[in-house]
Amino acid sequence: MLSWVVHYKNKYPGGKVQASENAIDVYDVQNNHAVALRKNGAGQWVDESEKFGCVDKHCLAPIPKDARVHKVVDGKVGLDEKHEERIEKRADLLRGDRKILSEKEYEVEKK
């Protein structure tokens, strides 16, 4: 679960990720509810973004390395060693809805 928290902190710069044992809620920089994950009765994570009217859906597709500012350090969310230079590069990767696209989405966008 912690890796998902890091992924979404990187995908939605300036937003927030609220995580508990049974739920992960992701908000973009404008405080729009972006992604909602819940554990079901079997203990599996389920994407309930559509049910909650979120602006996005659960997707763990890799994002560009230059956008990866956060990482897991000693079991906690921390900053990557290259976070200062990546913060600058990340600005070029942001899109209108203030999120980072996946590597595949950038390839499609270039065509």
Please tell me the predicted confidence (pLDDT) of residue 46.
97
Please tell me the predicted confidence (pLDDT) of residue 69.
96
Q: Where are the domains of the chain?
A: 2-110
How far apart, in whole angstroms, are the C-alpha atoms of residue 56 and residue 77?
A: 23
Tokens found for residue 84:
């200062």
Ranges of residues in the chain whose predicted pLDDT is under 70: 97
Please tell me the predicted confidence (pLDDT) of residue 109.
82
Per DSSP, helices labelled H in the chain are 2-11, 83-93, 103-110
How far apart, in whole angstroms, are the C-alpha atoms of residue 45 and residue 57?
A: 13
